[in-house]
Amino acid sequence: MLAMAALVAAALLAVLASGSGRARLGEWVQGSPLDAVFRMVLGDLRGRMRDSAPVCSPTVRASRPTPVILIAIDTIRADRLGFLGYERDVSPRIDELARESIVYRRAISAAPWTTPAFVGIFTGSHPGALGFEGEALVLPGDVPVLADALCEAGWQTAGVVSHSYVGIKYGFDRGFEHWDERNAGGHLHVSSESITSLALDFVDEVTDGTPGDSERPLFLFAHYFDPHYDYREHATHRFSSGYSGPHQSQNDNFNQLVKLAYDGELDAAAIQHLHDSYDSEIAYTDAEIGRLIDGLKERGLYDESLIVLLGDHGEMLVERPERLLGHGMAVYQPLVHVPLLIKLPGSERVERVDGPVSTVDVMPTILDFVGHPERASGEAARRSLLRLDQANRRPAFAQTRRDGIRDTVVDGNWKLIRDTVRNRSELYDLDRDETESNDVAWRYPEVVARLEARLESWHEELARHREGRPDAAAPELSEEEIEQLRGLGYVE
């Protein structure tokens, strides 16, 4: 029956070759028995599973060959998780992991949208230093990346992703022996269950069912996408009392919703429905991450692994006076404050770090911990998030060039936002005003001047890094891929 349903769905997809046709088909089958099949087939047609790369040939030996599990959640706000203070019970499994981890309470993403955020995570360099500012570009082949570094030290590397912006066409598969992005199916595709299943399949494949292969430890990158638009309320994780109004998140209307929000046309009930649906997506993803954790425990890998869980960026949900919806356009906390926790083998350290840290320091932290002989000395050790003390605490920076030129620096309790186009700076005391409701730039001009100088020095540093580098190239996208990005709200 399932095979027949898949054939029927595939035939219908072939007939409805246009993106709008697929959207209509998705709407027709939504909630029916064909819904899951449609999404599976859609993922297979739109996504890709790259043939396995040659087995990594170790050229160096790390001093601590530990399994590394990197779990990334797309479009996840830090303030919507229980271990960071959210009152709704949307993240019980992540909260459980946090209780055995080092929790970084004020982690700042390098950028408020996917591609540059992951450039920072994978390279340890700020995306602005590599020319990633306003467009989704291809990761340059000469820039060292985390998977390459672990591959050359003998790790078995596997990646399972669910967004094309962190996929093959943008160069993020480099260094991975096994790579699967069939779940990069766009806004109609519900992917978390498949991501967990494929991730565990990879674990079984590379470990041959035997944990503790110290000669070739595992590096697994599992990327979850469902909190991203389309905000879908899952029957198993429902938080609303029901909403039947005209302004719902569904199918291809995200840019319309953004405009309605900006124009003040979404009423309180519609905005609450967006929040409820977003929370439902988080809860659904949390359950699947819990299933991944359970699978690691069953295979004897959980205790011995270094597990890093983080978000790439957050989401605006019409809570500010500017009535912003989506991401990429600003650097307020809902967009750049992301979850970050690190579980050490044996949970040997459980603590909370209150000061600001940057996700660009995740790569040097991992390489420092495993003792990579060529990449874990000097700068990596100084930047390791596991070695923080008063002497090496640093400010965290983020920037975006979408819909303007905006930068931010978070230094201790202070956060400065600089809008270059408007020639304006905002200042917030995050200890007293985490929601950035009270701009105190007028009250503390000396703090504004100090942080503006920090931003200027940082920009000079980025410029020095870019000197002599060729411009990063844009990928060649098919009409199909452009249509997918339009559905996600990235293309008008």
Of 85, 100, 66, nearest in space to 366 by CA: 66
Weakest-pLDDT range from 87-91, 181-185, 233-237, 322-326: 181-185
Q: What is the pLDDT of residue 295?
A: 97
Query: Could you tell me what percent of the chain has a pLDDT over 90?
Result: 58
Phi first, then psi: what are they for 435, rounded to 5°?
A: -85, 0
**Three-state SS at 90:** coil
Q: What is the pLDDT of residue 210?
A: 56
- CB atoms under 10 Å from CB of 479, counted, come to 9
pLDDT band at 486 (very low <50, low <70, confident <90, very high): low
Q: pTM here?
A: 0.87
Give the CA distances from residue 483 to residues 35, 68, 105, 230, 327, in Å, rounded to whole numbers and listed in that order. Answer: 21, 35, 37, 15, 19
In this predicted model, which residue has the larger pLDDT, 387 or 246? 387
Q: Which two tokens stand for residue 387?
A: 């070695």
pLDDT tens, position by position, 380-433: 678 899 998 765 689 999 999 877 899 999 999 999 999 999 999 999 999 999
pLDDT tens, position by position, 203-237: 998 776 555 444 689 999 999 998 988 888 898 99
Instruction: Kindly state the average pLDDT of the residues 7-18.
Output: 44
Which residues face 160 on adjacent strands? 180, 222
pLDDT tens, position by position, 156-209: 999 999 877 788 888 889 999 999 998 887 777 788 999 999 999 999 987 765
